[in-house]
Structure formats: structure tokens, C-alpha cells
Structure 1
Amino acid sequence: MTKFSLALLLATFALVAPARAGSVEDELVQLQRDWEVVRYQTPAAGRARRFELLAERARQLAEAHPGRAELLSWEGRVVSSWADAQGGLRALLLVRRAKALYEDALRLDARGVDGAAYDGLGALYYRTLPWPLGFADRERARELLEKALALDPAGLEPNYFYGEFLLDSGRAAQAVDYLERAMAAAPRHGHYVADIGRREEARTLLEKARAAR
């Protein structure tokens, strides 16, 4: 076995093996860090399979600790990312699964896990296909994204998602403002990899918005 093959095997095992020690908070932090690595540092060709393994870990963690909104919200994020990487008909089923997870999280926590569930669910509503294949609803997306912004008006994620939504809705001039706020957002503790990746995405969208306004 080559060193590369061994490294890949160990990385895959780390994604699928549930944590056996530490608090639920420690396990969630590790899940978040692994999501960041898959989302922003893993080649696209291998991303769907690794998200699938990570989604199983997220499911096990949520089932082991029922009633925890943050666990359901993060399972929703992992499943939604898996859908993006997967594509095709299977992605339609995964998107519906992610939607149900976010909705369950919101039923448990009216603040939407400090806006994260509102962001995630709102993004699904404007990114998915229209009925009958999907459930696209731009008005519902706007409502959810604005709730996330109200909870964290200077945050990277809510400004990024609202900016993306505005740009996708043909409102480039307004999108510029929110994407600039996303770029200026303070770093999030413990999310170094995700912050770098999200800012790069915001930078790309900001360039498109400025060119289109």
C-alpha cells in the first residue's frame, strides 16, 4: 500500500468512525472541523463520498443526544453539502432531508441556533428546484435569511447568504452591500478554514455583483 493510499484510508476512517470520548460539545467541534476540511480542502471528485460518511457521523451524534437543536442544524448542513456535491436525482432526496433537519432544529430553538438554521434553510429555499421536483420559494427564503441577519447583522454567514440571494434574484446593487459586509466580518473563533473559504466565495460573488450592477 502506498503512503497516499494509507493516508486516504486513515482520513476516510476518521470521517466515518464516531467519536468515543469527550463531551458532545467536543464531538460537535470535531464534526464542524471535519466538515470544513471536506467542504474547502477536499478535491471535488471525492467530496460526495466523504460528506456521505460525515452525514452518518452527524446522524449518530444527533440520535445519541436527542433534543439538541445545534446537532440537528449541523446534520442539516452536512446533508445539504452532500446534496451539493452529489448532484443528480439523489440530491433531490438529500435536500428534502436537510430541510426536515433544519425545521426540526427550529422547532427546538426559536433563535435558529443563533441564525445558522435560518441561513441553511433559507439557502435551500432559493437554491432548490421549483415544484414538483423541489420546493423553491423566494419569499420564504427572504424571510428566513432576514431572521438570520437580525440575529447576527455583522456576521459572515448571514451577510454572505443574503448577498448571494440578492444577486441570484437580479438585485446586484443591493447584493454588493451585503457581500462587502461579509468580507468585513470579524473572524469566528475555531472556524479558520471555513472563514477563509467563505470569504473567497464572497469575494467571487462580490466581483460578479459589482460587474452586474
Structure 2
Amino acid sequence: MSKSLLRSLFFSGALLVSLPSFALSETGAQNLQHLQARWAEINYQLPEAQREAAFARLAGEAEAAVKAEPRSAELLIWRGIVLSTWAGAKGGLGALDLVKQARDSLEQAIGIDPKALGGSAYTSLGSLYYQVPGWPVSFGDGKKAEKLLKQALALSPDGIDPNFFYGDYLFREKRYAESAAALEKALAAPSRPGREIADGGRRKEVEVLLAKARAESKK
């Protein structure tokens, strides 16, 4: 698995029962804000050579936050996001266990509250399904990915992340005109208060991919 394979999960076959979600405590909310802010700093501001170690440390913090509030869908989502981006920074076959842990955390979040953080678990889960290798190496599955990403868009139709990852998926499927349309929506997404670093970094990714999609669609 290359380091560029994962940027940042559909159910693995078992029936997930929706369980009651619990409101975050004040400490839990602070932990969530910290994970979001630190993830953006590592992903978009830290030199690439330093990211793997930094994500490893952040994954430990995410694990501790989830242990303190195991019924928090929001913290489970962010544990999954941190693990998946750590896997991307790590690369190689050694990252496969991390992406499986990320998938499990995101599936747990969906089982508790599918709508948490605007359906972010569906976005992250879908991005894993189209970026990781398929069987027998891992669980990658393009059809499952598209279904999950559409579920994310149903919950957050104007969000920058679901539109970006759907656009990325469509680009990889060589559906360039559809990809460009999704990426244009991502670029027009409203800013998220407190997520300025993440929004700025994501918009740069959108702009790069949108230029490629437009160029390919004209061929």
C-alpha cells in the first residue's frame, strides 16, 4: 500500500444494531476539538517525513478519548480518521492492520449514530473501501465505496469532504464529468467554524483534482 493510497468505512457483513448515543462530556468535547485540530496540523502543515510518528501519537490520544467515552460516535469517527491517515503515512503492508482498525471504529460509530458529524463515518468508511486493496489482500470494494459515499452525501449534500471523496472516487473510475461536478460542489462548500486549517488544505486538494478531472473530461 503506497503512502498516497489513503488520505484522511459499509458494513463488513454483520448486522449493525443502532444503539443509543450519549452526549459528549465537556472533556469529551475538548478531546474531539483537539483531535480535529491536531489532525489538520499534521496532515496539512507538518513535513511529510514527520507525519507517521505524529499520527501514531495522535492515535494513542484518540484511543484514550474513546476508552473514556466508548459510546461516543463522534470520538469513534475521529479514531477511525486518525488511524486511516496514519495508515496512509505509514504505507506498505504494515498499514493494513491500521485500516482494519479504522474500519471497525467507523462501523461502531455508524451502529451508535449514523448521523453523527453529518454522516462523517460514511464518508471515511467509503473512502477506505475504494482506496485499500481488494480481496485477498484487504477489504477494498468499489461498489460498497460508492454506496457509502452516497449515504454520506444524503446526510451532508453540500459538505466539502463527502463531495471531495466522491469526486476522487469517480475520478479513479474514469467518470470524469461526474467527478468534476462533485468537486465543484466541494469547492463551493461552506466554511466550517474552527476547521480553517482542514478546510484550506482540503480546498487545495479539490482544486488540484478538479483541474485534472476537467482536463480528462475534455479528451
**TM-score normalised by L of structure 2:** 0.86
How far residue 89 of structure 1 moved from its aligned partner, in angstroms, is 1.6
Equivalent of 2:36 in 11, 15, 32:
32
- Tell me: higher relative CO, structure 1 or 2? Use CA pairs within 8 A at least 6 residues apart: 2
> Equivalents in 1 of 2:34, 2:106: separation in Å?
20
1:94 correspondence with 2:98: yes
Partner of 1:18: none
**How many angstroms does 1:115 deviate by?**
1.2
In the TM superposition, what whole-angstrom CA distance separates every residue of 1:46-70 from its partner, at most 9, and x where no partner exists? 1000000000000000001111111
**1:158-198 deviation line (CA, Å, top 9, x unaligned):** 11011011001110111000101111111011100000000
Match of 1:204 in 2: 208
TM-aligned CA distance change 1:112 to 1:23, over 3 Å: closer
| Two-structure CA RMSD over aligned residues (Å) | 0.9
Q: How far 1:25 sits from its partner (Å)?
A: 0.3
Q: Secondary structure at the match of 1:154?
A: coil
Which residue, out of 152, 165, 178, partners 2:182? 178
8 Å contact from structure 1 (residues 69, 108) kept in 2: yes
For residues 204 and 142 of structure 1, the distance between their equivalents in structure 2, rounded to whole angstroms, comes to 22
Paired with 2:33 and 2:140, the residues of 1 have a C-alpha distance of: 31
Equivalent position of 2:51 in the other structure: 47
Identify the residue that residue 120 of structure 1 maps to in structure 2. Answer: 124
Q: Where does residue 191 of structure 1 map in the other structure?
A: 195
TM-score by structure 1 length?
Answer: 0.88
Q: Which deviations, in whole Å up to 9, do the C-alpha atoms of 1:138-158 show, x marking residues without a partner?
A: 111011000110111111111
Q: In the TM superposition, what whole-angstrom CA distance separates every residue of 1:96-119 from its partner, at most 9, and x where no partner exists?
A: 111111011111113254210000
**Unaligned regions of 5+ residues in structure 1, if any?**
1-21
Indicate if the aligned counterparts of 2:114 and 2:121 stay in contact, CA closer than 8 A: no
Do 1:187 and 1:195's aligned partners in 2 also have CA atoms closer than 8 Å? yes
**Shift in Å, 1:209:** 0.3
Matched residues, percent identical? 44
Q: Distance in 2 between matches of 1:169 and 1:95?
A: 22
Match of 2:67 among 63, 70, 74: 63
Give the counterpart letter for 2:168 in structure 1.
E
Counterpart position of 1:157: 161
User: Between Structure 1 and Structure 2, whose CA radius of gyration is higher?
Assistant: 1
Which structure shows the higher helix fraction? 1
AA matched with 1:198: R
Q: In the alignment, what sits opposite 1:77?
A: 81
Equivalent AA in structure 1 for residue 89 of structure 2: A
List gaps (5 residues or longer) in structure 2: 1-25
Q: How many residues align?
A: 192
Contact 1:112-1:118 at 8 Å conserved across structures: no
